[in-house]
Each structure stands twice: as C-alpha cells, then as structure tokens.
Amino acid sequence: MESMANDPASNMQRGARIALTGMMVNVVLAAAKISAGLFGNSYVLIADGIESALDIAGSAVIWGGLKFAARPPDETHPYGHGKAEPLAAGLVAMGVLLASVALAIQSVREIFVPHHGPAPFTLVVLIVVVAVKEFLYRVVMRLGKNVESTAVQTDAWHHRADALTSIAAFIGISLALIGGEKWYSADDWAALFACAVIATNGWRLLFPALHEMLDTAPRGEIVSKIQEAAASVAGVMNVEKCLVRKMGISFYVDLHVGVDGSISVREGHDIAHRVKDAIKETDARIADVLVHVEPAM
C-alpha cells in the first residue's frame, strides 16, 4: 500500500501551506523590487515587482482553491470538490497572460521615453531575488510532482518565471550601467523580454489545467497498476474499459471485469468488491472505484 504521503486530504493541506508561504515571500519581494525600481530608475525592476505582486494574487487563488478542494464530498458534490484545484490553476494562468500583455504595452512605451539610467544597487536586489525564487521553485515543484497537483506546479512555475524575469532585469540593468546613456533603453528591452517569459509560462500552465477540467485521461503508470491489481483478483478472467479521471489530486476509476458467466449474482458482487479493494490499495489517491461485472467471452 502507498504511504500516507499520498493521502489526498493531507496533500491538499500541504499544497495550501506552500502556497501561503509563497504568498508571504512574494509580498516582501514585490515591495523590495518596486521600491528599488522607483528609487533606482529601473522600469524593468518595477515591472518585475508588479509581476511578483501578481504572483501574490495567484498564490492567494491557489491557496483558496486548494483549501476548497480539500473539502469532503457532500450532497451537492458527491465526488468532492477537487475540480476547484485545476480551476484555480486556470484562473491564475489566465491572469498571468493578461498581465504579460499589459506589461509589454507599457515596456514598449518606456523604450521611446527618455529617462535616467538605473542605479547600481538594483543589481544587488536582483541577485537576492533570483536566489530566493529559484529555491522556492525547487521546493514547490518537488511537492507538486509528488502529489501530482496542477495548482501546486503552477505556483512553482510562478517562482521560476519570477527568477527568469529577474535574470533578464539583471542583464538589462548591467548593459545600461556599462554602456552608458546610449544603452539606457536596455532596461526597457529587458522588461519586454521578461513579459515574453511571463506569457510563455502562462500559456504552458493553462493547458494542463484545461485538460484536467475536461477529464483528460491521466498519463503514467497509474492505469497499468489499476489493471494489474484488478487482474490479480481471484475470479477475474479479463479486464476491459479501464477509465480513470483526475479530480483535484484524487482519482476515480470505472472498470469492466469479465467473470465466469455461470456464477451467482452474489459471487459476482463479492468479486467486484475484492477488485475495488485491491485497486484502492495500490494508491491512496484513488477515491472510488466503480466495477461493472460482465460474463467473460
């Protein structure tokens, strides 16, 4: 049997805690970057700070979605509230795409507006930001992959995108400082590149969320493990139509098994229960199994 690390409710709570931690870190970093950008004459740093501020809203949505998804099934939601998890991820991805467009428009405007060069101290701020954000990305992505949560992985990519935009900002500011007045616009071009990175990540994060909301069949070994578990039950002659769908970080299975057509209804019912138990023992994330018993051909 899988360890309790795969318990869906526990995983949802862990994901929510991670999102909350990321939100608090983003509050500090966004304030630092926007302040440094304003006092250091760097639009790319201001844009980077705005992106971090958007991450705060994104982490809040992820946190709320995971908390809601962790609720147990009720009369109106017999399959639980797991769909709130990909829905939250989809909303955040859409927000990222819209923000990238708005920031890109402003970046283009800044390219044609004369302004002072950036201050050297802004580079120190960016070095700290990149280190913190890359660390957060690795921690959050590890959890997201372990629990197979689209929302948590979306939150992780926010941190990686923020690190990449900060690297772009570092390069742009460095060019502006080294090249002098003729290179002051490098800061704004870096901001434009940062917008492209943000948009790319928003686009790639949107599709997994949409696939999950549309009940796209999960990939990986979970389906083969389910089939093997069902086939191992005494009395099962074949396994057909193994359908698996993901609800948040839980899985629901519909399965057809073939049995000897001459056995009683009671015997067929008992086999179905043993199949259900065997499948649920393979992975704690499997919330329910619907077994259809039919005579083997």
Nearest in space to 23 (alpha carbons), one of 68, 54, 65, 49? 54
pLDDT at 1: 41
Alpha carbons 210 and 2: distance in angstroms, whole number: 28
Could you tell me the sign of the dihedral formed by the alpha carbons of 227, 233, 239, 241, in that order? negative
Q: Which DSSP string do the residues of 231-275 spell out, in sequence order?
A: HTSTT--EEEEEEEEEETTEEEEEEEEEE-TTS-HHHHHHHHHHH
Same fold, 4-213 and 222-295: no
Higher-confidence residue of 226 and 7: namely 226
pLDDT at 290: 87
Stretch 51-70: mean pLDDT, rounded?
73
Structure tokens belonging to residue 105: 């428009």
Find the range with the poorest average confidence among 67-71, 115-119, 137-141: 115-119
Residue 113 has pLDDT above 70, yes or no: no
Stretch 101-108: mean pLDDT, rounded?
76
* Averaged pLDDT score across all residues of the chain: 78
Fold classification of 222-295 (topology level) = Alpha-Beta Plaits (3.30.70)
Convert the pLDDT of each residue in 201-240 to its tens digit: 778 778 777 877 777 777 767 888 888 898 888 888 888 8
Residue 57 exposure: Cα atoms within 13 Å on the Cβ side: 12
Which residue matches tokens 């909303």?
91
Higher-confidence residue of 176 and 12: namely 176
Alpha carbons 40 and 51: distance in angstroms, whole number: 18
pLDDT at 116: 61
Q: What CATH number labels 4-213?
A: 1.20.1510.10
pLDDT at 297: 64
Compute CA distances 187 → 100, 183, 202, 279, 281, whole Å.
17, 8, 23, 56, 56
Higher-confidence residue of 281 and 62: namely 281
Structure tokens belonging to residue 37: 């950008």
Residue 200 exposure: Cα atoms within 13 Å on the Cβ side: 11
Residues 6+ apart with CB under 8 A from 204: 157
Residue 4 has pLDDT above 50, yes or no: no
Which residue matches tokens 């990238």?
100
pLDDT at 117: 63
User: Residue 187: which pLDDT band, with cuts at 50, 70 and 90?
Assistant: low
Residue 31 has pLDDT above 80, yes or no: yes
- Every domain of the chain and the residues it spans: 4-213, 222-295
Residue 178 has pLDDT above 50, yes or no: yes
Structure tokens belonging to residue 111: 């390219």
Stretch 128-133: mean pLDDT, rounded?
86
Bridge-based pairing state of the strands 286-295 and 250-259: parallel
Alpha carbons 69 and 59: distance in angstroms, whole number: 15
Residue 184 has pLDDT above 70, yes or no: no
Stretch 50-68: mean pLDDT, rounded?
73
pLDDT at 11: 66
Residue 108 CB burial class (10 angstroms; 0-12, 13-18, ≥19): middle
Check residue 182 and report its DSSP letter.
G
Residues 6+ apart with CB under 8 A from 57: 95
pLDDT at 274: 92
Stretch 145-161: mean pLDDT, rounded?
75
Strands (E), 76-220: none
Alpha carbons 197 and 91: distance in angstroms, whole number: 18
β-strand partners of 295 = 259
Q: CB of 59 within 8 A of CB of 155?
A: yes
